[in-house]
Structure 1
Amino acid sequence: MIETPGFIVTVLAFIAVIGPLVFVHEFGHYIVGRWCGVKAETFSIGFGKEIAAWVDSRGARWRLGLLPLGGYVKFKGDMSVASQADPKWLELPAAERAQSFPGKPVWQRAAIVFAGPAINFLFALVIMAGFALAYGENVTPAVASKVMAGSAAEKAGIRAGDRIVAIDGRRIDRFDQLTQSVFHRPGELSSFALDRGGRTIILPITIGVREEKDRFGNHYRFGQLGIRSAAPVQRNVSLLEAPGVAVDRTVSIVRMMVETMGQMVTGRRPLDELGGPLKMAQLSGEQADRGIEDFIFFMALISINLGFINLLPIPMLDGGHLLFYAIEAVQRRPVSPQVQEWAYRSGLAVLLTVMVLVTLNDLSSFGLWKSLSGLIG
């Protein structure tokens, strides 16, 4: 059973995760904006009621909001925190127009917007590189040293000594790659390519399912093949190699996110597995309870997730802005205000719908609906 820590630890852990990552994301926008000569008017961590604020020497207001679920940088010329251009920016004096966000070339606006997700990935890469330097890289070959009785591997015909070389056409070199590929595919039918004594064998395998539950009764489903590796093989990673190892791990995580999203879109994975802020808080507390190393690695995962989600081409997100800038660069004129307004409203509707969905999922996972039904009954 997965244990969960107390409420206070969970809240503090959540703030310790989301606060720095939001700051890092928004600081990416802010610092590149400064390099491009854009004046920042507000730098906010959190939304809602202001609980603390100060104004720096450049006139930017740095504030802390009551709800630590995001943040924003409002530049001169922005009409809202979503970086919609204020039509009145054209009425500003020439010197102020030169400092406004809408007055910059499209490539500079794109660089400022892209900097947020990019620095989230960079933050994660630094952590991954640090872990590689500290603990090395696991290069255990993807060889089945032992096949568990009654497992998916045994049922499919995998034998001890078989080496898994590919899953659904994707090359597998290490045992950790095999584990990652199987982990998020519970119950799925996949094509495994094996090397058995120099011969290549293709086996269709329905990946097994391992279930765990926490103290709230929430069930978690993981893919499981049912083989064990030989003794782990660890190699030291040099300072020059660490960035490459970090990039490899980050790419693997992003690929897993893309595949998981595809599973949800196609219905192969239920939408009730999609979690929101409450679930993230719970996971933050669990990782903090397991130790500082697990907690820091969890921060890297969330940072990658934050960067990835923000690059989705949805208006209101950074990816939506980048899509508009790409269109502007091709057609050599901005997307019309009417189209942008329609897109932002649609994007907001999508985000609010997803937020309601994940919040309902979170409340359901904590057993709220069961408790209410018990009270009504």
Structure 2
Amino acid sequence: MELIGSLFGSFAGYALPFLFVLTVVVFFHELGHFLVARWCGVRVQAFSVGFGPELFGRYDRHGTRWKLSAIPLGGYVKFAGDENEASVPDQEALARMSAEERAGAFQTKPVSRRAAIVAAGPIANFILAIVIFAMLFGLLGRQEISPRVDAVQPDSAAQAAGLMEGDLVLAIDGQPIQTFADMQRIVSVSADLPLSMLVDRGGQQLTVEVTPQRREITDRFGNVQSVGLLGVSRSASEEDVVTRRFGPVEAVVEGSRETWFVVTRTAGYLAGIVTGRESADQLGGPIRVAQISGQVATLGFGALLNLTAVLSISIGLLNLLPIPMLDGGHLLFYAAEALRGKPLSERAQEYGFRIGIAIVLFLMVFATWNDVLHLTSL
């Protein structure tokens, strides 16, 4: 009985938060495709959360099969004229369609409408993130700490640059800094990169050049991350700590800013992997997402919603990569079609999809391998 209880506890602690986060993100991604497809007059055959065998489902009045499938690692919307869930064209099925059926097929729509339908999925992910962040800011507010240096650690990047106790950071590389968290965010992703800091020292403004040191830090759950550090501590003075409340409009603006920050940080990390500045060992797959979901769930539902927003942005960005089989790959094909005035040949598209499958499988295996290495290192 103890073993059964332990297993159930592990499932509830990791699997349930993971399923919640992934289901919400996937549902809204596919809903973006679905709504714009309906608006463009495309007949939707199936809307699935998950892959594989159907667990349960139903038909709506338009003939769309809404279903929940057994493998909760994604989802799809299948349109009339698609050969499979990846929206590969089914030329034989298109040839057999009547004129009325062809009018509702995805492949017969103008390239602009097809591009809009495909782009709607990632856009829905970004909108979801903005809504979640705005809701959290509106309901919970945000504690803000002044970007004032309370102490400088010995042999740190801050000491080498000449930062001093009491310095108030006003801007970094021309970007205004309002809180200590703003400063941390920029510094953490700028390891080994020189930064120009504008600081207020006793009423006098001066510029300090500092290069954050790359360090490995361990969070409260034992996860190790490689980040940039200055070596300064924040002020604990009451006058430097405030809780900011946001009205509806302000919350949406802050939600949009938070979403843009996650977009730029994620894109910067991916670019860093390509250039060799960042290590790819931080890339994680479903195992890591499940683990982090369970860990974050212990901090409360608000923290889990915040993770949902971050993951939604990541899924949106991932799908925009110009890899066939992903939304970005379809958009790449449509861009070529718009420039050429006609679609790419069936052979070219087939080779593209094969390459896309290989890349996606490689990324999945690589991410899962990272997950295994991460687990064995704990």
Q: How does 1:26-45 map to 2 (within 5 A)?
A: 26-45=30-49
Pairwise CA distance, 1:60: 1.7
Pairwise CA distance, 1:141: 4.1
Percent identity between the aligned chains? 40
What residue is the counterpart of 2:4 in the other structure? none
What residue is the counterpart of 2:6 in the other structure? none
Q: How does 1:2-21 map to 2 (within 5 A)?
A: 6-21=10-25
The answer as to 2:130 corresponding to 1:121 is: no
Structure 1: 4+ residue segments shifted above 6 A: none
Pairwise CA distance, 1:78: 0.8
Q: How does 1:1-377 map to 2 (within 5 A)?
A: 6-88=10-92, 89-137=94-142, 140-168=145-173, 170-185=175-190, 187-195=191-199, 196=201, 197-207=203-213, 209-212=215-218, 219-225=224-230, 226-229=232-235, 231-367=240-376
Change in Cα spacing, 1:192 to 1:53, as seen in structure 2 (3 Å) is same
Alpha-carbon distance in 2 for matches of 1:6, 1:159? 47
2:172, 2:198 within 8 Å by CA — same for their partners in 1? no
Pairwise CA distance, 1:13: 0.9
- Counterpart of 1:188 in 2: which secondary structure? coil
Alpha-carbon distance in 2 for matches of 1:43, 1:191? 48
1:164, 1:192 within 8 Å by CA — same for their partners in 2? no
Alpha-carbon distance in 2 for matches of 1:357, 1:214? 26
Q: Deviations over 1:14-35 (max 9, x none)?
A: 1111112111111111111111
1:210, 1:224 within 8 Å by CA — same for their partners in 2? no
2:158, 2:210 within 8 Å by CA — same for their partners in 1? no
One-letter amino acid matched to 1:130: M
1:26, 1:72 within 8 Å by CA — same for their partners in 2? yes
1:194, 1:201 within 8 Å by CA — same for their partners in 2? yes
1:13, 1:288 within 8 Å by CA — same for their partners in 2? yes
TM-score by length of 1: 0.89
Q: Deviations over 1:158-184 (max 9, x none)?
A: 112323344455443432211111223
Q: Which runs of 5+ in 2 are unaligned?
A: 1-8
Aligned length: 363
Change in Cα spacing, 1:291 to 1:95, as seen in structure 2 (3 Å) is same
Alpha-carbon distance in 2 for matches of 1:168, 1:190? 9
One-letter amino acid matched to 1:206: P
Q: Which runs of 5+ in 1 are unaligned?
A: 371-377
Change in Cα spacing, 1:136 to 1:13, as seen in structure 2 (3 Å) is closer
RMSD: 2.3
TM-score by length of 2: 0.89
